[in-house]
Structure 1
């Protein structure tokens, strides 16, 4: 039986990944900065809270990282931790860089120090690419990040590549494009849209305020994307992979789809608020997942319209229902 350590298990990806690994027979341990105080609501929502072991770990503290790795003795580590909001990274650039870049470096250095055959998955991001002039990005596309979050993720990516080459560590980065689910908190625009549309459908008279709805994104379904993370660590050699649907849609299309699914005209309920525009924005973000299909056998089954449908359906469930996803 393998043991997996998921750093950032309280988030969307961490919870779905824990569910997947438990189904595969893993012993799953997860970390957060304060495991005694964290609610782990996503694990509870999936009905797996009592099936995972939880540890407190500060990724920016090397001693803390080393202690937990020594205690858990994992076969695989999935690094999903760190400040996860692009918008918030403009307000908290130092915390964003430290939590992502320093945290990743501490994991790599701890693995090197322990000298054990631990495999590491690192959560990369499509934000590393910046604007690609409408062209789908693949593993050879240069990084030109346009946010502190993107800069931090690019830094972590190259740390992983360096340790892989210099020390022979099995470390892989998944360059994931946008992926959503009912577990997204409402500070993410997709969940904000779904939740607001549902409240309006239930009788609320509120207005949904959004920033630039012309931006285009490659939106996928989060439970599928964690399968790609797992597959990367099962390969004979470590490598980096773009994970995406290969299709881009405007945010306006996402809004229209969400409201239409509730029999609403989005234009009657949405206002564009220029104060919500970011200092720098990516106009078009789209991935080319051909390598993942070729080498991992992974291909997205759900695109943006499916994602909206799943999120709306989850929001309409009775209280207490779980959003468990059955993996193939």
Structure 2
């Protein structure tokens, strides 16, 4: 009787393991899972497997974080029982790395997840040209290591696996819009590494019958995009607390740590617009204004991730809005929110964006922000997700831009050095 009850309890378990839990997507996903009751066990449940390994199934959201000199958990601080002491209640964090296969096996054996969301990655396209080997090791081989850890731990037949794939797989696009059947042509080390991750997921699904899924995510943003600091502080600049972040660059000058700038273009734009609105900055320098993307909200996209793992049959899905906007449009929408209309003059690197009413130059162009191989147009068609999963994005492009600008105005008002 006790053995039967234990088996039923195990089959009813919903235990999620998230790599990249401290990132934009990981933080929204952790919130979503907690809201859906992944921490709703009425009391701790101790289960023992036939190999003698025992585990406690009360806490059902687990995350893997890399060890660093700073505890970069700003995006998930509100999920701690005590954000100051990092006391864990609704979730448990485990030190690990996608480059360490032994550690991954240890974590998987301890957690015994029923769902795994692989969101961890070196996710900056331009930086991947400078760190090509590292990008391949984490984004490509890291996916293989995690899949092998699940099989080694005896979970290959039961676990459901989500792989965060990317629209950068399409690169030099072969058709517009892109669907699940559009040929891939990656144009960066990041895209190439993610292509390996995509195909190894398909291979393990077909070779071992694993419930492995690829979500081909098009660009998705939020106020949590890029370097992040919480809570905002007037006393300590965010960039001083995030010196270990790979997405924040620094310049040491006369003993001072000066931020070079936000490296994700959307957040760079909204932060600059916020600073201009508050009189803290005069202009922003960008690269290719005419590159166009399908931009959605990360909160919408993590819901799609969860939906994919609730299906009986694994599959691959495009996660997109089917709307295309250029970097130029993102700039214009951001300035429009603070009541400034931008007009454009010149061409190429000599082009500038001026404030219509005053003539002040607010946008400049520099070749340093161009990629070695540019991806000009990405537009996804999520029709398959709509038909099979009933998923459609809820937050519009304008709402996304507004939310990001407002969040950055609040941040910069409290902390001008952020």
| Number of residue pairs matched by the alignment | 319
Checking the alignment, whether the CA contact within 8 Å between 2:174 and 2:182 is kept in structure 1 is no
Look up the match of 2:72.
39
- Contact 1:32–1:38 (CA<8 Å) still a contact in 2? no
Counterpart in the other structure of 2:203: 162
Contact 1:97 1:152 in 2 (8 A): yes
User: Which has the larger displacement, 51-60 or 29-38?
Assistant: 29-38
Structure 1 residues 8 and 182, CA gap change in structure 2 (3 angstroms): same
Does 1:108 pair with 2:147? Answer: yes
Structure 2 counterpart of 1:89: 128
Residue aligning to 1:127: 168
Q: Alpha-carbon deviation of 1:276?
A: 1.1
How far apart are the structure 2 equivalents of 1:196 and 1:245? 26
Segment drifting more, 300-309 vs 140-149: 300-309
- Hey, what's the Cα distance between the residues in 2 that align with 1:133 and 1:253? 24
- Residue pair 1:131, 1:285 contacting (<8 A) in 2 also: no
Task: Give 1:305 deviation, angstroms.
Answer: 1.7
Q: How has the CA–CA distance of structure 1 residues 261 and 320 changed in structure 2, closer, same or farther, with 3 Å as cutoff?
A: closer
* Correspondence list, 1:230-269, <5 A: 230-266=306-342, 267-268=353-354, 269=362
**In 2: Cα distance, 1:105 partner to 1:134 partner:** 29
Q: Comparing both structures, which one devotes a greater share of its residues to helix?
A: 1
Deviation at 1:304, TM superposition (A): 2.0
Shift of 1:102: 1.1
CA RMSD for the aligned pairs? 1.7
1:132 to partner: Cα distance: 2.1
State the secondary structure of the residue aligned to 1:111. Answer: helix
Counterpart contact for 1:6–1:29, Cα < 8 Å: yes
CA contact (8 A) 1:35 1:54 kept: no
Is contact 1:247–1:286 with CA below 8 Å preserved after alignment? yes
How do residues 1-328 of structure 1 correspond to structure 2 at under 5 angstroms?
Answer: 1-26=13-38, 27-34=60-67, 37-44=70-77, 47-50=78-81, 51-116=90-155, 117-132=158-173, 135-185=176-226, 186-266=262-342, 267-268=353-354, 269-317=362-410
In 2, Cα distance between the equivalents of 1:146 and 1:286? 16
Could you tell me how far 1:239 is from its partner in structure 2? 0.4
Secondary structure of 1:90's partner?
helix
Query: Gaps spanning 5+ residues in structure 1: where?
Result: 322-328
**2:392 match: secondary structure:** coil
Q: Please say if residues 173 and 184 of structure 2, whose CA atoms lie closer than 8 Å, have aligned partners that are also in contact.
A: no
**Take 1:34 and 1:318, find their aligned partners in 2: how far apart are those partners?**
27
1:28-78: CA deviations, max 9, x gaps? Answer: 11111117843200012xx21332210001111110100000011111010
Give the C-alpha shift of residue 156 in structure 1: 0.2
Matched residue SS, 2:313: coil
Q: What are structure 2's unaligned runs of at least 5 residues?
A: 1-12, 39-59, 82-89, 227-261, 343-352, 355-361
The alignment's TM-score, normalised by the length of structure 2, stands at 0.74
Give the superposition deviation at 1:255.
0.4
* Deviation at residue 302 of structure 1 after TM alignment: 2.3
